[in-house]
């Protein structure tokens, strides 16, 4: 098992742990199904991340008649990660159960402290892995950080982005390329497991009961009183609920349920203001060229993300250049 040392001192965590080094057991989880062209791009980008070799790689591949498991296994065998753990489903679980179960196995059964979760359509910059784990180290002194990612649609000019390279902001966008800790997972998983048991185990993911999920499950948690954290990084001025109180036509994906569980338990999600990755999934389960464009992915004004190095320090940014709060949009 591989791990990453976390250096803590009293100023970092508010308790007397003078220069203590804690070894964190960490994993990278890479999901696949049948988009081998995208998968190959993501795998190649992961190979260029030197920090990736500090962590165990687990590849989970969904099954069914449309799966391309043999091709994905061959890509891994010929990669720089030939010893990666590969789990191939015997049948089609759908992305919801597939992902929930992968997190259950890595956190609950194998005891990992942190996971970097990657899907097969986010191409990484060369320092992506180091950046997100470094942010996780930096953010460990706060109680309210649920997930950390380094992907963002930034429409500012490239010169403007240069001054934003160490900025962090709040986000409600898609769960792509994010780090989550076991501590957070242990607190939110009861909601996710309940969703899985009620709506996914006896139904295909495609045919899940959207209306029942919205009105009999999500509405309950949306309208429950939120449990707030004490030592917060994200101020109220930068907080946007991921969902409206009346859940009309909101997303019912497992990602949406994860967003809801994080929100209920007082967690916030943060990302780098300048992207370290490129989303390439024009075609997929939830995407088409039209959806890709409607959600702004055609406006990925990317700097030289492939070579952006990890900043020496990070700064949470709560206002824009005009002094307006940087509030994220609701979950999409």
Question: Structure pTM?
Answer: 0.91
Q: Domain for residue 55, yes or no?
A: yes
Distance CA 316, CA 64 (A): 43
Q: Domain for residue 167, yes or no?
A: yes
Q: Domain for residue 100, yes or no?
A: yes
Could you tell me the CATH number of the domain that includes residue 62? 3.90.550.10
Q: Which helix H or strand E contains 219, and what residues bound it?
A: helix 219-222
- Other Cβ atoms within 10 Å of 233 Cβ, number: 19
How many folded domains does the chain comprise? Answer: 1
Residue 185, both tokens: 């997972």
Q: Domain for residue 173, yes or no?
A: yes
Per-residue pLDDT of the chain (332 residues; tens, 9 = 90+): 776 666 544 333 333 334 556 789 999 999 999 999 999 999 999 999 999 999 999 999 999 999 999 999 999 999 999 999 999 999 999 999 999 999 999 999 999 999 999 999 999 999 999 999 999 999 999 999 999 999 998 988 999 999 999 999 999 988 999 999 999 999 999 999 999 999 999 999 999 999 999 999 999 999 999 999 999 999 999 999 999 999 999 999 999 999 999 999 999 999 999 999 998 877 666 677 787 777 777 777 777 888 999 999 999 999 999 999 999 999 97
Dump pLDDT digits (tens) for 15-55. 333 455 678 999 999 999 999 999 999 999 999 999 999 99
Dump pLDDT digits (tens) for 265-322. 999 999 999 999 998 877 666 677 787 777 777 777 777 888 999 999 999 999 999 9
Q: Domain for residue 13, yes or no?
A: yes
| Pair type for strands 85-88 and 56-61 | parallel
Q: Domain for residue 325, yes or no?
A: no
| Pair type for strands 167-170 and 315-316 | parallel
Q: Which helix H or strand E contains 112, and what residues bound it?
A: none
Q: Domain residues for 35? A: 3-316
Q: Domain for residue 328, yes or no?
A: no
Q: Domain for residue 331, yes or no?
A: no
Packing angle of the helix pair 254-264, 94-103 (nearest 10 deg): 50
């Amino acid at each position: 098992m591989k791990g990453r040392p976390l250096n803590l001192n009293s100023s970092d965590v508010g308790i007397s742990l003078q220069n203590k080094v804690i070894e964190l057991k960490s994993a990278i989880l890479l999901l696949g199904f049948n988009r081998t062209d995208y998968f190959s791009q993501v795998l190649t980008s992961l190979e260029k991340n030197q920090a990736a070799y500090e962590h165990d790689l687990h590849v989970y591949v969904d099954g069914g008649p449309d799966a391309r498991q043999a091709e994905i296994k061959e890509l891994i065998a010929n990669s720089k990660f030939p010893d990666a753990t590969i789990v191939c489903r015997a049948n089609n679980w759908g992305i919801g159960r597939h992902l929930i179960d992968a997190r259950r196995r890595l956190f609950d059964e194998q005891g990992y402290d942190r996971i970097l979760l990657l899907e097969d359509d986010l191409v990484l910059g060369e320092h992506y892995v180091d950046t997100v784990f470094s942010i996780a180290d930096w953010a460990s002194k706060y109680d309210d950080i649920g997930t950390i990612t380094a992907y963002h649609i930034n429409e500012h000019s490239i010169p403007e982005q240069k001054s934003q390279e160490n900025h962090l902001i709040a986000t409600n966008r898609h769960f792509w390329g994010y780090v989550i800790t076991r501590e957070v997972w242990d607190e939110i998983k009861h909601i996710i497991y309940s969703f899985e048991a009620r709506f996914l185990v006896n139904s295909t993911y495609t045919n899940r009961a959207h209306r029942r999920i919205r009105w009999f499950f999500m509405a309950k948690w949306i309208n429950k009183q939120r449990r707030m954290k004490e030592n917060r990084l994200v101020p109220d001025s930068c907080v946007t609920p991921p969902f409206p109180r009346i859940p009309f036509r909101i997303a019912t994906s497992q990602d949406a349920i994860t967003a809801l569980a994080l929100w209920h338990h007082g967690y916030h999600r943060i990302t780098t203001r300048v992207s370290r990755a490129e989303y390439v999934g024009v075609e997929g389960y939830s995407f088409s060229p039209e959806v890709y464009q409607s959600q702004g992915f055609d406006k990925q004004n990317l700097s030289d993300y492939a070579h952006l190095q990890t900043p020496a320090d990070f700064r949470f940014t709560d206002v824009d250049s005009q002094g307006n709060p940087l509030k994220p949009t609701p979950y999409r």
